[in-house]
């Protein structure tokens, strides 16, 4: 059983799941602090559904990148660092079994969404449908908007890992929508978008060979690296804006400290770098996204409990 669980974690890239679950926590804490409501059962179902949706997204992207030849190209491009699980491109798992696990995760996410709709309102199904479509058509034909290089994929990531989980979790608890959780989603959503943007640096030459037109491919490494830094500063500017608008308490500004590590790494990079030079940036980007979200949630919860 433990071996199967280990295989599943590797195939689904389970380790990155906090970037989805933290926004769910943020939306739930926001509902508690601003509206005084918290339904533990609904939170657990939301948590499980969001986790399944994220893992489905990871696996369906692997599935279609393999079918499109992108993962295979990455293996044969000198210096490229593949970011997929390697289960399909490496022949570790049969495609049919991988696909069965992938669609099973979607079924779990959809089931959770249907259950939540019975308690909180049918509107939650828009989030379920929207998330499923974004996850599937990110690399699947005919849309494949992750291949088009016009910012569609970055917008999709922000919606799927920022606005939708925060606003959706808030709606599940309150049965209503509000501007506050939408604004609350900006810092963590933008930082996760940055994380996904930065991972393209690891294999952008292979993407170019395979016809995957990410913004890094379209703009080139130098311009894309400038945009990456700008996006980092915009992310933390949105955190300051949340404090100024009294969406977050002032001590949430402690989350600004999470920007230090990425900034240091940016300063060490050249306009052009080998792929492995971006591995520290990837790690720092992920830690910044997770830690910033945790500090935001903790600050908001402390405000609700003690003030």
What separation in angstroms does the CA of 56 have from each of 64, 196, 204, 257, 274? 12, 16, 24, 32, 31
Smallest Cα–Cα separation from 138: which of 153, 158, 119?
Answer: 153
Whole-structure pTM value: 0.90
Q: Look at the chain and count its residues.
A: 307
Does residue 240 register a pLDDT over 90? yes
Q: What is the pLDDT of residue 127?
A: 92
What separation in angstroms does the CA of 107 have from each of 168, 201, 273? 18, 33, 41
Which range (110-124, 148-162, 277-291) has the least confidence? 148-162
Residues 12-41: pLDDT tens digits?
888 889 999 999 999 999 999 999 999 999
What separation in angstroms does the CA of 71 have from each of 64, 89, 189, 204, 214? 9, 6, 26, 12, 14
């Amino acid at each position: 059983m433990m071996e199967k669980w280990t295989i599943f974690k590797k195939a689904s890239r389970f380790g990155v799941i906090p970037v989805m679950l933290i926004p769910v926590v943020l939306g739930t804490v926001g509902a508690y602090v601003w509206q005084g409501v918290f339904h533990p059962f609904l939170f657990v179902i939301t948590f499980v559904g969001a986790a399944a949706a994220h893992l489905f997204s990871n696996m369906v992207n692997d599935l279609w990148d393999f079918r499109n030849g992108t993962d295979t190209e990455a293996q044969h491009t000198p210096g490229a660092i593949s970011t997929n699980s390697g289960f399909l491109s490496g022949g570790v798992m049969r495609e049919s079994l991988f696909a069965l696990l992938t669609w099973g995760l979607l079924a779990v996410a959809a089931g959770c969404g249907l259950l939540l709709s019975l308690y909180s309102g049918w509107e939650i199904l828009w989030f379920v449908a929207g998330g499923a479509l974004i996850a599937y058509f990110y690399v699947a034909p005919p849309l494949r908007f992750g291949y088009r290089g016009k910012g569609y994929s970055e917008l999709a990531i922000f919606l799927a890992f920022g606005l939708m989980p925060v606003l959706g979790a808030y709606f599940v608890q309150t049965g209503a929508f509000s501007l506050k959780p939408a604004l609350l989603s900006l810092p963590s959503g933008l930082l996760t978008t940055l994380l996904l943007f930065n991972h393209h640096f690891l294999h952008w030459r292979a993407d170019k060979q395979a016809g995957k037109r990410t913004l890094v491919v379209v703009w080139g490494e130098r311009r894309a690296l400038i945009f990456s830094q700008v996006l980092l500063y915009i992310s933390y500017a949105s955190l300051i804006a949340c404090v100024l608008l009294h969406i977050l308490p002032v001590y949430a500004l402690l989350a600004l400290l999470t920007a230090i590590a990425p900034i240091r790494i940016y300063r060490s990079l050249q306009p052009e770098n080998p792929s492995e030079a971006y591995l520290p940036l990837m790690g720092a980007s992920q830690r910044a996204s997770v830690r910033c979200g945790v500090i935001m949630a903790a600050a908001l919860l402390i405000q609700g409990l003690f003030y």
